[in-house]
C-alpha cells in the first residue's frame, strides 16, 4: 500500500533471530528464504538466522548446507534434530538457541519483501505482548510467480479446527477507522510466519511440545495468546511470500489423520472448554485418538489465569463459525420419515440433502443457534424463493432468508421470510427436503436433538 511506503519507524527497534525449521526442503526454496532475509532486513536488527534441520534425508542439506551458509555475511547456524520430531519441537529447539530480543519464525520456502521487518518489530517494541504476522503473499508452486496477498482477510477456523481465511469484518474496519495500513487484530494465525518477543514467548508457554509433526500448533498459540492476555495482529505493511504447495515433500509417521487429530484434541481439551463439542461431533472418530498427557498445559492455563473460550468467542471472534449460544447441536430428524438433514458433503450454494440418520455426526451435524439460524460449520440453511429449494449459503448473520423459527411444541421449522415450513423430501428428488405452506402434517415435524456424545469425552 502506498501509505506504507512513507511510514517512519523508530531507529532503535529490537533485534530478531530468524528461526527456520525444515524437513526435506528443496535447496532453492530454502536458500531463497535465507537470502531474502539477509538482503531485505536492516543489518542492525538481524541478530542471526537459525536453520533447524528436522532430520532431513537429503544429502545436500548436510555438509553442503553448512559450508554454504558459512560464507554468508550474517551469522547463519544450522542445528539438527536427532530424530524426526515435527515442526513444533524443531521450532522449540531453534527458539532455545536464539539470542535476539525477538524471535521471527518463517517456513523454509518464503521470500521476505523490502521493508518486511521494520513494521513487525515496531509493533513489538510498542507492546511486547503483541504477536505479529505479516501479510502472507502467495508464491505459486507451479510457476513461482509472486502474487500479493489480501489485507482484507484475517485468520479464523471452522468446526473441524482447520485454519481458514475469512473477510475482515466491518467492526474491525471501523476500529481502524478505515485505515488499511493499521494492523488487523486477527482471531488466529496461519502458523508459519510470525514475530514474538523472546521472553514473552517463554512467559506464555512457547508451544505444546506434546504435538507431533504438523498441525494444531497455530490455533493453539492463537487461542493462548488471546485468552492469556496478549494480542495477535496481521501487520498489513509487512509482506512475506510463501510457496503454497499442493503436496507435502514429507511423510506423517503414523498417519496424517492420527497426528492432526491428536494435536487438535490437545488444543481442544486445553483451550476450548465446552465448545470442543463442535469439533468432536463433526469429526467422527476423533475421540478414539489418544492425545497423551495434557496436565502441564492445563497447569499453564491455570497459572497464567487465562480467560475462558467463551470470552474469546465473544470479544475476539464474535463472527466465529462456532455460535456462542445455541439451542441444539446434532442431527435434525424428520418425524414422519425418520430421515435426517444431511449436507451430503456438498458445498456452498448447493442444496441441503436428506438421508437416513446414521448417528455418526459428520454431515448430519447442525446447530440451531440463538440467532435462529440452522448452520453446519460456516454454512447456513437459506431459502430465497417460495417453495424452495433449501440451499446452504455462507452464514451472513443478517437474519433475512436464513431466519428459522423452531416451535418446540408443534415441532415445526418455520422459514420466517417465506412463511413456509421445512418439509420432507419432494416427489421428484428424494434426497432434498422441501419447503411448503405449513399444514400441520407430521412430515413438517422435526426433532432437534443433541447427538449423544461418545463416552470417551
Ligand atoms: O515434520 C516436519 N518437520 C518440519 O521441520 C514437518 C514440517 N517441517 C517444516 C517444513 O519444512 C516447513 O518449513 O515446517 C515448516 C512448515 O511446514 P509446511 O510448509 O509443510 O506447512 P504449511 O505451510 O502447509 O502449513 C501451515 O500450517 C502448519 C501447521 O502446523 C504450520 O504452522 C506452517 O508453518 C504453516 N504455514 C504457514 O503459515 C504459511 C502460510 C500457509 C497458510 C495459510
Ligand atoms: Mn509452508
Q: pLDDT, tens digit, for every residue of 84-112?
A: 999 999 999 999 999 999 999 999 999 99
Segments in 54-211 forming alpha helices (H): 63-70, 87-97, 117-126, 170-175, 198-203
Grid look-up 474491525 returns 172
Question: Comparing C-alpha atoms, which of 293, 302, 306 is closest to residue 266?
Answer: 293
The pLDDT-based confidence of 450 (bands split at 50, 70, 90) is low
Ligand 1 atom nearest to CA at 54: 5
Nearest ligand by distance to the CA of 240: 1
Instruction: Dump pLDDT digits (tens) for 323-351.
Output: 999 889 999 999 999 999 999 988 899 99
Instruction: Kindly state if the Cβ of 23 falls inside 6 Å of ligand 1.
Output: yes
Instruction: Dump pLDDT digits (tens) for 198-243.
Output: 999 999 999 999 999 999 999 999 999 999 999 999 999 999 999 9
What are the cell numbers at 26? 528443496
* Number of neighbouring beta carbons within 10 Å of residue 86: 23
* Number of neighbouring beta carbons within 10 Å of residue 456: 10
Instruction: Kindly state if the Cβ of 214 falls inside 6 Å of ligand 1.
Output: yes
Nearest residue (CA) to ligand 1, atom 15: 107
Sign of the torsion formed by the C-alpha atoms of 375, 380, 384 and 385: negative
Percent of the chain with pLDDT over 70: 98
Nearest ligand by distance to the CA of 153: 1
Report the alpha-carbon distance of residue 35 to residue 187 in Å, rounded.
Answer: 31
What are the cell numbers at 310? 467463551
The pLDDT-based confidence of 373 (bands split at 50, 70, 90) is very high
The CA 68 to ligand 1 mean position distance, Å, reads 24
Nearest residue (CA) to ligand 1, atom 32: 191
Report the alpha-carbon distance of residue 151 to residue 145 in Å, rounded.
Answer: 19
Nearest residue (CA) to ligand 1, atom 36: 192
The CA 107 to ligand 1 mean position distance, Å, reads 6
Mean pLDDT calculated for residue range 70-93: 98
Residue 342 in contact with residue 374, Cβ under 8 Å? no
The CA 240 to ligand 2 mean position distance, Å, reads 12
Nearest residue (CA) to ligand 1, atom 39: 192
* Number of neighbouring beta carbons within 10 Å of residue 96: 12
Nearest residue (CA) to ligand 1, atom 30: 215
Report the alpha-carbon distance of residue 353 to residue 364 in Å, rounded.
Answer: 9
What's the mean per-residue pLDDT of the chain?
A: 95
Q: In this structure, what are the phi and psi dihedrals at residue 196, rounded to the nearest 5 degrees?
A: -150, 140
CB neighbour list of residue 113: distance below 8 Å, 6 or more residues apart: 36, 40, 137, 239, 240, 241
CB neighbour list of residue 177: distance below 8 Å, 6 or more residues apart: none
Instruction: Kindly state if the Cβ of 54 falls inside 6 Å of ligand 1.
Output: yes
Q: Give strand ranges (E) for 27-93.
A: 46-53, 76-80
Instruction: Kindly state if the Cβ of 19 falls inside 6 Å of ligand 1.
Output: no
Instruction: Kindly state if the Cβ of 90 falls inside 6 Å of ligand 1.
Output: yes
Cα of 432 vs its chain's centroid, Å: 31
Sign of the torsion formed by the C-alpha atoms of 417, 158, 144 and 41: positive
Report the alpha-carbon distance of residue 356 to residue 333 in Å, rounded.
Answer: 9
Whether the predicted pLDDT of 452 surpasses 60: no
Task: Reduce the DSSP state of residue 44 to 3 states and report it.
Answer: helix
End-to-end CA distance of the chain: 48
Instruction: Kindly state if the Cβ of 121 falls inside 6 Å of ligand 1.
Output: no
The CA 82 to ligand 2 mean position distance, Å, reads 22
Cα of 318 vs its chain's centroid, Å: 15
Whether the predicted pLDDT of 456 surpasses 60: no
* Number of neighbouring beta carbons within 10 Å of residue 160: 16
Instruction: Dump pLDDT digits (tens) for 112-159.
Output: 999 999 999 999 999 999 999 999 999 999 999 999 999 999 999 999
Instruction: Kindly state if the Cβ of 53 falls inside 6 Å of ligand 1.
Output: no
Amino acid at each position: 500500500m502506498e501509505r506504507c511506503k512513507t511510514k517512519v519507524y523508530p531507529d532503535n527497534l529490537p533485534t530478531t533471530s530468524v528461526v527456520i525449521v525444515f524437513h526435506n526442503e528443496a535447496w532453492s526454496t530454502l536458500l531463497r528464504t535465507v537470502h531474502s532475509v539477509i538482503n531485505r532486513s536492516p543489518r542492525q536488527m538481524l541478530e542471526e538466522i537459525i536453520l533447524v534441520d528436522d532430520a532431513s534425508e537429503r544429502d545436500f542439506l548436510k555438509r553442503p548446507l553448512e559450508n554454504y551458509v558459512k560464507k554468508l555475511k550474517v551469522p547463519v547456524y544450522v542445528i539438527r534434530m536427532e530424530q524426526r520430531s515435527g515442526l513444533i519441537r524443531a521450532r522449540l529447539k531453534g527458539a532455545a538457541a536464539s539470542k535476539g530480543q525477538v524471535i521471527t519464525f518463517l517456513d523454509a520456502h518464503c521470500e521476505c519483501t523490502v521493508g518486511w521487518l521494520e513494521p513487525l518489530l515496531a509493533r513489538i517494541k510498542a507492546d511486547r505482548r503483541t504477536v505479529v504476522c505479516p501479510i502472507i503473499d502467495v508464491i505459486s508452486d507451479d510457476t513461482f510467480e509472486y502474487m500479493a496477498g489480501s489485507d482484507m482477510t484475517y485468520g479464523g477456523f471452522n468446526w473441524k479446527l482447520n485454519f481458514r481465511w475469512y473477510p475482515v469484518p466491518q467492526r474491525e474496519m471501523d476500529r481502524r477507522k478505515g485505515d488499511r495500513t493499521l494492523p488487523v487484530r486477527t482471531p488466529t494465525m496461519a502458523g508459519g510466519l510470525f514475530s514474538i518477543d523472546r521472553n514473552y514467548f517463554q512467559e506464555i508457554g512457547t508451544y505444546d511440545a506434546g504435538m507431533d509433526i504438523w498441525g494444531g500448533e497455530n490455533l493453539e498459540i492463537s487461542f493462548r495468546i488471546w485468552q492469556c492476555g496478549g494480542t495477535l495482529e496481521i501487520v498489513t505493511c509487512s509482506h512475506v511470500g510463501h510457496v503454497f504447495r499442493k503436496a507435502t515433500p514429507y511423510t506423517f509417521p503414523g498417519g496424517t489423520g492420527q497426528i492432526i487429530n491428536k494435536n487438535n484434541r490437545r488444543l481442544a481439551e486445553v483451550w476450548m472448554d465446552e465448545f470442543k463439542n463442535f469439533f468432536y461431533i463433526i469429526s467422527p472418530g476423533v475421540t478414539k485418538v489418544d492425545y497423551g498427557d495434557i496436565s502441564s498445559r492445563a497447569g499453564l492455563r491455570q497459572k497464567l489465569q487465562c480467560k475462558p473460550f467463551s470470552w474469546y468467542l465473544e470479544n475476539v471472534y464474535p463472527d466465529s463459525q462456532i455460535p456462542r449460544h445455541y439451542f441444539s447441536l446434532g442431527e435434525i430428524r424428520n418425524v414422519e420419515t425418520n430421515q435426517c438433514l444431511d449436507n451430503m458433503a456438498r458445498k456452498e450454494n448447493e442444496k441441503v440433502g436428506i438421508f437416513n440418520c446414521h448417528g455418526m455426526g459428520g454431515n448430519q451435524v447442525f446447530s440451531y443457534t440463538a440467532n435462529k439460524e440452522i448452520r453446519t460449520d460456516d454454512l447456513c440453511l437459506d431459502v430465497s424463493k417460495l417453495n424452495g429449494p433449501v440451499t446452504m449459503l455462507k452464514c451472513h448473520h443478517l437474519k433475512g432468508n436464513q431466519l428459522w423459527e423452531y416451535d418446540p411444541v408443534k415441532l415445526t421449522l418455520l422459514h420466517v421470510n417465506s412463511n413456509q415450513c421445512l418439509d420432507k423430501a419432494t416427489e421428484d428428488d428424494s434426497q432434498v427436503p422441501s419447503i411448503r405452506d405449513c399444514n400441520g402434517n407430521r412430515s413438517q415435524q422435526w426433532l432437534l436433538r443433541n447427538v449423544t456424545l461418545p463416552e470417551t469425552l
